Amino acid sequence: MENKIISQTFNLLKYTFVVVPIVAGADKFTNLLTNWPQYINPTIVGMLPLTPAAFMMLVGVIEIVAGIVVLKKPIIGGQIVAAWLTLIALTLLMGFNYVDVAVRDLVMAISAFSMAQLAKFVK
């Protein structure tokens, strides 16, 4: 029974961290869910070698790849997603913009890391 609960919890987290990064990444190309460039820290915008929209498309590709890695290699993928979400949260906190989103991303990072840890016990 205990293994079944661990397996179910792992699968719920795994498929969450497959679907959400892929959907969010794909949306960087359409901006249907939100206007993604608004989330870029204004101090970073000036340092970018591309437009904010193009930068967010690059971010979208990274997120899509991260979701696929979670599907194929959940331990590594979970660690990548956790690090990525932490980095996003830190850039938001640096400008003290969208603090609510930063906190949400940190909670999701903890969840992704937890999923990676659970993957070590589930086959």
**How confident is residue 2, by pLDDT bands cut at 50, 70 and 90?**
confident
Q: What's the CA gap between 66 and 43, in Å, rounded? A: 26
- Angle (CA) 53 110 15, round 5°: 70
**44 vs 99: which has the higher pLDDT:** 99
Per-residue pLDDT reduced to its tens digit, 14-51: 999 999 999 999 999 999 999 999 999 888 888 999 99
Per-residue pLDDT reduced to its tens digit, 42-79: 888 889 999 999 999 999 999 999 999 999 999 999 99
Domain locations in the chain as residue ranges: 2-119
3-state secondary structure of 67: helix
